[in-house]
Amino acid sequence: MNFQPIIDEQHRFFDTNTTKDIQFRINELKRLKNVLKKNEALLYSSIYKDFKKSKFETYVTELSIIYHEIDLALVNVRKWAKKKKASTGLTNLPGKSYIVPEPYGTVLVIGAWNYPYQLSLCPAIAAIAAGCTVILKPSELPSNTAAAMAQLINQNFDPSFFKVIEGGVQQTTELLQIRFDKIFFTGSLPVGKIVYQAAAKHLTPVTLELGGKSPAIITKDVNINMTAKRLVWAKYLNAGQTCIAPDYVLVDSSIHDSLLTAMKAEIEKAAYHVDHHNYTQIINVKNFDRLKDLIDKEKIYVGGECNVEERVISPTIMKNVEFSDKIMKDEIFGPILPILSFKTIEEAIEKVKTLSKPLSCYVFTKNKTIKNKILNEISFGGGAVNDAVMHFTEQSLPFGGVGDSGIGNYHGKYGFETFSHYKSILQKPFWIELNLKYSPYSDKKLKWLKRIIG
């Protein structure tokens, strides 16, 4: 399909300046919230068809996050969009300086499959708040959720402002050949590189929300039961298909066994099962097979059961894992948690740093010195101390990676900034001018200028 006319139409609409009007943005955000609220039943049933995600998890990890993002933008968009005063140096007095947030224009948002609603709609919300027009390309893997978003958006919004285009690699490749004013991508590192290269041809700015192996480092002084409870929840939420799930645990060897016992007890307590509506399926057979291959039967401590018909892998913990094991090569992105141990914190930090910069890092400790050492010495996107995953829910925190885990960030006002260009303006009156900078130059003028500009 030729997408160029649709994007041309969005550029034309953007040029009418309609989206520069803050009230227009507010109305469209309200429209989006109303449409989603009215059609929650469709959103729940579609995601259940795709990978049996429960109503509970869909609300907590998808819809509530989208609603909060809209509400925050509704309250703050006027403030975010205001021009901001900046200081003015002696040279330009009595002028004044200010910064004007300007929407980038027509943007492309490419979504990932694991949280298909919020990873597609939260960037779109930020783009709308910033005054952009949006082409949204959700992941094709959860086909029912992609179809639901296409239906709801395309029936309720003017396509020259906000349109969902469904499709996979071919359609995305075609879209990437077209000039956009900004591309926001969530997905894997290899595809992130493809997006970055395509964007470079048009010098289009990008935000890349990627993944990586996020460690959880546990020291010997922790509250073991609470640590186990939080880790188990964070890992097996969405059956481990979470970009910021703890990918592996590095635990002080002196509490290794007690942590394992506590984690096993937490898994049993949670009674994960798709029939209990508290456990999600693996998205497809390809990922199921990939995950199954990662399980080393000799190292299973808990779980390891794989049911291909149901596409379910039970919550699995692997122990005695080494950094050289296969499971430590790439991001796991499923319900398998390798446990490794360390003797000194220096050793743990050194090991983490042999891998790419992770999207998240979790530190469980009561020791302030160790906490500060880890936060200071390991580079990662964002994280939590004595918890995991929950930092994502804080709208006051920018969410994004660093190095191989991504470029740029969003959420709340950071999302607005991601879709805005900050235009710098110096404004001068006509009534006064220092003639020093004008030709003909002289030593005397230079002497005075040096006094003023230093």
Does the annotation count 243 as an active-site position? yes
Judged by DSSP in three states, 302 sits in strand
Judged by DSSP in three states, 361 sits in strand
Q: Let me know: does 244 contact 389? Beta carbons within 8 Å.
A: yes
Q: Does 409 bind ligand NAD (CB under 6 A)?
A: no
Q: Let me know: does 363 contact 383? Beta carbons within 8 Å.
A: yes
Q: DSSP letter for 359, please.
A: S
> Which parts of 224-283 interact with ligand NAD (CB under 6 A)?
243
Kindly report whether the peptide bond that precedes residue 338 is cis, defined as omega within 30 degrees of 0. Answer: no
Position among 75, 169, 452, 453 found at the interface with ligand NAD (CB under 6 A):
169
Q: Does 145 bind ligand NAD (CB under 6 A)?
A: no
Environment class of 33 (CB within 10 Å of its CB; exposed 0-12, middle 13-18, buried 19+): middle
Q: Does 112 bind ligand NAD (CB under 6 A)?
A: yes
> Which parts of 309-338 interact with ligand NAD (CB under 6 A)?
331, 333
Q: How far is CA 95 from the centre of its chain?
A: 40
**Main-chain dihedrals φ then ψ at residue 384, nearest 5 degrees:** -150, 155
Q: Does 201 bind ligand NAD (CB under 6 A)?
A: no
d(C-alpha 325, C-alpha 339), whole Å: 12
The smaller minimum CB distance to ligand NAD, of residues 187 and 335, is found at 187
Part in contact with ligand NAD (CB under 6 A); list of ranges 74-82, 84-92, 134-142, 434-442: 134-142
Residue type, 410: Y
Q: Let me know: does 338 contact 318? Beta carbons within 8 Å.
A: yes
Position among 187, 335, 358, 383 found at the interface with ligand NAD (CB under 6 A):
187
Q: Let me know: does 162 contact 28? Beta carbons within 8 Å.
A: yes
Position among 15, 60, 71, 168 found at the interface with ligand NAD (CB under 6 A):
168
Q: Does 119 bind ligand NAD (CB under 6 A)?
A: yes
Minimum distance from CB of 149 to ligand NAD (Å)? 12
Minimum distance from CB of 326 to ligand NAD (Å)? 17
> Which of the residues 69, 209, 266, 417 is marked catalytic?
209
Q: Does 111 bind ligand NAD (CB under 6 A)?
A: yes
Does the annotation count 209 as an active-site position? yes
Q: Are strands 206-209 and 133-137 parallel, antiparallel or unpaired?
A: unpaired
- Which residue numbers are catalytic? 209, 243
Residues lying near ligand NAD in the complex (CB under 6 A) are found at 110-114, 119, 137, 139-140, 168-169, 172-173, 186-188, 191, 194, 209-211, 243, 331, 333, 359, 401, 406
